[in-house]
Amino acid sequence: MEMRLLITGGSGFIGTNLIRFYEEKQVPILNLDWNPPLCPDQLPYWKEADILNGEACGQLIREFAPTHVVHLAARTDTDEATDVEAYRQNHEGTRLLLEQLKACPSIQRVIVTSTQFVCEAGYQPKDDLDFKPFTVYGESKRRTELITRAAGLECCWTIIRPTTIWGPWSLRYRDVMFKVMRKGLYFHPGRKKVIRSYGYVGNVVWQIDRILTVQRGTVDGRVFYVGDDPFDLKIWVEAVSKALIGKPVRYIPTWIVTSRRWIGRKQRSVRHRSV
């Protein structure tokens, strides 16, 4: 049976690259997203949908009859500090989606996207159920993972935890960091070695494809971090700076950054007391 790929949240950064990959393989694709695609060429694959509307999504899913599903749809910012229900589309949206997928007999494989932030930075989980989220976004994804495990899917299912992903169609890097670099205004805080887990989106797409196509026993019911091997952050910023402006990165002493943060906190504290 040929692959028929359903992607939720396919209009976003990773989804855009994933669609391009499978478009070249001539795989039939359906993108369910409440936003139009970042890439206008991908409009034919898009159906406007909200995963919190389970019945409407279910109708579109049954009509398309997918064999493989990559669930990317989520609220991914960390702006909300206390209310996990502000990220309801993450955990509750996943629950409603999985109910619809269970009713679709054509589905062979499902990938549910979580995040590395189900554990705080530096924490080494003992197993796949050892969580330590430090934001409500991370908590919403912890719930997403537990809901996936409890869903009773009969098809092959896998949870992925992306690291910090970058590459084409990443608006965050294009409109913020890369724009600052092009203007020559980027200063890296200190020269100390800082290890980060970055991932180029093309490599992540390849990893997702492998999960969708390898032998079932290799991935069924398992959790995988997707991205590249951890490395010194300076290596990455130096390479990007040289590619964008042909110059190395400028560095600012760490003590200056720390002092500015301390001054900023003191000023906010004074303003708060004055109110």
Each residue's pLDDT tens digit, 48-63: 999 999 999 999 999 9
Side-chain-side CA neighbours of 71 within 13 Å: the count stands at 34
Output the pTM of the full model.
0.88
Residue 248 to residue 253: CA distance in whole angstroms: 16
Total number of residues shown for the chain: 275
**Picking from 12-26, 34-48, 160-174, which range would have the lowest pLDDT averaged per residue?**
160-174
Instruction: Determine the Cα–Cα distance for residues 86 and 84; give it in Å rounded to an integer.
Output: 5
Q: pLDDT tens, 151-162?
A: 999 999 999 999
Tokens of 220: 């069924």
Mean model confidence pLDDT for the chain: 91
| Rounded average pLDDT over 196-204 | 92
CATH classification of 5-169+197-229, choosing from 3.40.50.720, 3.40.50.10090, 3.40.30.10, 3.90.1150.10? 3.40.50.720
Structure tokens at 100: 């619809």
**The pLDDT of residue 208 is above 70:** yes
Give the residue extent of every domain in the chain.
Answer: 5-169+197-229
Query: What's the confidence (pLDDT) of residue 258?
Result: 62
Tell me the pLDDT band of 66, cut-offs 50, 70 and 90.
very high
214 forms bridges with which residues in the sheet? Answer: none
Closest CA to 7 of 60, 86, 77, 80: 60
How large is the average pLDDT for residues 252-264? 62
- Percent of the chain exceeding pLDDT 70 equals 92
> In which band, very low, low, confident or very high, does the pLDDT at 259 lie, cut at 50, 70 and 90?
low
Tell whether the model's pLDDT for residue 95 goes beyond 70: yes
Please give the DSSP secondary-structure letter assigned to residue 47.
E
Q: What would the mean pLDDT of 60-74 be, rounded to a whole number?
A: 98
> What pLDDT is attached to residue 197?
83
The pLDDT-based confidence of 261 (bands split at 50, 70, 90) is low
What are the backbone angles phi and psi of residue 209, rounded to the nearest 5°? -60, -40
Structure tokens at 66: 């997918």
Measured CA to CA, the distance from residue 247 to residue 258 in angstroms comes to 26
Structure tokens, 30: 């359906």
Q: Does 275 have pLDDT greater than 80?
A: no
Predicted confidence band of residue 232 (pLDDT cuts 50, 70, 90): confident
